[in-house]
Chain A
Amino acid sequence: MNPVTQFDLHPDAENLNAFVEHVLPEAEQAQVLKHLADCSRCREVVYLAQESATAEGAQAAPAVANAPTARAPRAWFAGWRIAWVPAAVFAALVTMAVWVHFRQAPVADVAKVLTRGEGETGKQVPPQLGQVTPESMPVHSATALPQEKRSKSAQSSLRVREFSGLAVPRAAAPTGAGGALPSTSGRNFAQLQPLAQQQVSITPSRFQAPSPGPSPPQQQQQQQVQQQAAGTVAGASSDAKALPEAMKSASQSAPVNQTVSVSAEAVQVETEPVSSAQLETLPLPVAEAKAVQKKAVRVPSGLPVISTVAAQNRLLAIDAGGMLFLSEDAGKTWQSVAPQWTGHAMRVRVAPAVHSYDALVPQAGVGGAPERSVAKTPAPVVFEVENDSRQVWVSVDGKTWKAKE
């Protein structure tokens, strides 16, 4: 190896190193750069020296970092680093406690169903989750338990989601509905709303008070309805939906001496008066019937409506006084229908649909042979009013009535 390399042609190590370290004056820097532009040998030397310096710097950097140099003053909060852990745990616990507290607060408004003969302090059946026994339905009252009982009953109460599919036709009572359910202490059970006349809908927080109860015959009928609905009713939503149908077909009697306490967590159970007749007489399509029922039916008499029916732009309603009202504008205006029946009107409904096949029209067919085509024309809607003696009057327009033959 010849250490002497063309000293007259190339910058020496001193200049090249000074160039690499950028310590040359500008004039010499330009001179070396000019040489580097033309000399691949010196360019290579410069790049190799630069790379080795970079590699050495990369190795020296961790060593410098690991050297036990004087430590920089630590921030004042650095010593509290360990304290952050319990602080975070404490904050998490507080957050969880607050969340649990507010989550349980609206829980367990209890609908207390009492039997007629047992009084308001009747025996309570331990609630089954998602279940209401058929014996629990006959005579009803709804009450709100004290706050202490809410939390206890919350664990075994009906859950919100279990009522989520409940959709019972409803008719708002003109009075009493919408208020918070008061305690039933001291109330007469005869004034309590039968369950069958209560629409149970789920809204998120509380019960609503029932309206004054219907007449005793209706109560009796509803008792039969509820006793017929054997099996679980109020558990799953499908069972809840089946409640009206079960009520419709109910005809049996059952002992009515038990109380079922039904509680719901974080739900609001509104009870609004709906007559069993109403439940029966909704011949309209489900969507239309629901639309009609969703609207609060308020008749001019101010009494609660015990039966309504809607068909062909006509809405008929019977109030608690037995008066029949007709509305042809979806309940905006009402006109009273003079009683053309005997007794007390109890129920209004639409007669079962029948089709008339009397429009058999002979037509000329091919070859002159007469053909008979059947024109199926729907019969007009016929309303029926039933009195307390089970006698029925019919009407097409809702104004003029005649006894059904």
Chain B
Amino acid sequence: MAPWVALLQELWEAGDAAAYGLARSEFDRILLHAGTAQNHGLPAGAAPTAQQQAAWFRGIRVNDLVLARACGEGHERAWEHFLALYHQPLVRAAIAITGSDTLGRDLADALYAELYGLTTRDGQRRCPLDSYKGRGSLIGWLRTTLAQRHVDHHRRSHRELPLDDPEVSYEPAAPEPAAVKLPAELSALGKAVQAVLLARQAEDRFLLASYYLDGRTLLQIARVLNVHEATVSRKLRRVVEELRKQVLRHLQAAGLSRRAAQEALGADPRDLDLNLKKLLQSSVPDPFKEKADR
């Protein structure tokens, strides 16, 4: 245990847990519990060595982790510290995410209430801060949580209509149009596109979906992927060229001549029974393994 003691002492001295009234014993307990819960970053079942444990502790944001856990456990001074540090940034992030000052403040207030543990489940107070593991920054985690809340709320509510609006007429849904049999070339083209898109790598599909479906800019994509904007542009061009070649190859493999395949590529996309948005995202995402493994 000697290495542990030295490491915890080092982390205690480097952090400012004492500033918000956390005892050393509580600090050690929080860190050991977090390490055990995450198996020090190793897969479940693996036995971490002392060096791996030390590397994991040094790789995480100990201060943020201890603060989050202290807030989750209801330490008042920790909350005061949390509010002093993150109140204004959180409001600004919420306003930036929603694009509205009012909506942003509402979103931030709702998250604060949730973080403070007003939500209870099975008679127990639940604090989302308990899910923070210290891999990224606490403010980043808060932003991401805000974004999740906002997106989920939007996806739930953007189709809702007020029931008491007399001007809105509710018409029955139009019947599904009868399926029209497509020419063989177009049918083959739809199948080829589907096969090619599903065979692409995750990064390529992410690029295509972000650029063509979500309408993100090259700069936004580059920031997320941590590459240069020009790199994203080159990758996109390359992916599109490869897609075209692969679709041609698929069409020729389906029995079309090269000329017919090229003519099929020039077909109006509206003639195709192919929804690229559905195609790229209908693929039900695999259950996220970490959660599935949990």
B133-154, CB < 8 A from A: 133, 135-137, 139-141, 143-153
Contact A53 B288 (CB under 8 A): no
Contact A14 B149 (CB under 8 A): no
Distance between Cα atoms of A8 and B145 in the complex (Å): 16
Distance between Cα atoms of A219 and B144 in the complex (Å): 110
Contact A56 B224 (CB under 8 A): no
Q: Known: A14-B141, A20-B224, A56-B96. Is A45-B132 also a contact (CB below 8 A)? A: no
Residues of B near A15 (CB, < 8 A) are 135, 288, 290
Majority SS at the chain B contact face? helix
Q: Which of A3, A17, A38 has a CB less than 8 Å from the CB of B141?
A: A17
A18 at the B interface (CB under 8 A): yes
Identify which of B167-175, B198-206, B252-260 touches chain A: B198-206
Residues of B near A53 (CB, < 8 A) are 93, 140, 143
Identify which of B12-20, B179-187, B207-215 touches chain A: B207-215
Contact A21 B285 (CB under 8 A): no
Contact B93 A56 (CB under 8 A): yes
Q: Known: A39-B281, A48-B97, A49-B144. Is A11-B291 also a contact (CB below 8 A)? A: yes
The residue of chain B having its C-beta at the shortest distance from the C-beta of A44 within the complex is: B151
Residues of B near A48 (CB, < 8 A) are 97, 147, 150-151
Contact B114 A3 (CB under 8 A): yes
Contact B220 A52 (CB under 8 A): no
B289 at the A interface (CB under 8 A): yes
Residues of A near B9 (CB, < 8 A) are none
Q: Known: A48-B97, A50-B220. Is A1-B286 also a contact (CB below 8 A)? A: no
Contact A1 B153 (CB under 8 A): yes
Contact B291 A21 (CB under 8 A): no
Contact B144 A8 (CB under 8 A): no
Q: Which of A5, A39, A40 has a CB less than 8 Å from the CB of B148?
A: A5
Q: Which of A5, A30, A51 has a CB less than 8 Å from the CB of B152?
A: A5
Residues of B near A17 (CB, < 8 A) are 135-137, 140-141, 143-144
Distance between Cα atoms of A5 and B143 in the complex (Å): 16
Residues of B near A43 (CB, < 8 A) are 206, 209-210, 214
Residues of A near B148 (CB, < 8 A) are 5, 13, 16, 45
Q: Known: A17-B137, A17-B140, A33-B202. Is A40-B149 also a contact (CB below 8 A)? A: no
Distance between Cα atoms of A17 and B138 in the complex (Å): 9
Chain A residues within CB distance 8 Å of chain B: 1-3, 5, 7-18, 20-24, 28, 30-31, 33-41, 43-56, 59
Ranked nearest first, the 6 interchain pairs of A and B with the lowest CB-CB distance are: A34-B202, A37-B205, A48-B147, A37-B206, A17-B144, A52-B96
10 pairs across A/B with beta carbons < 8 Å? Answer: A1-B110, A1-B149, A12-B131, A13-B128, A13-B144, A17-B136, A18-B135, A50-B223, A53-B93, A54-B223
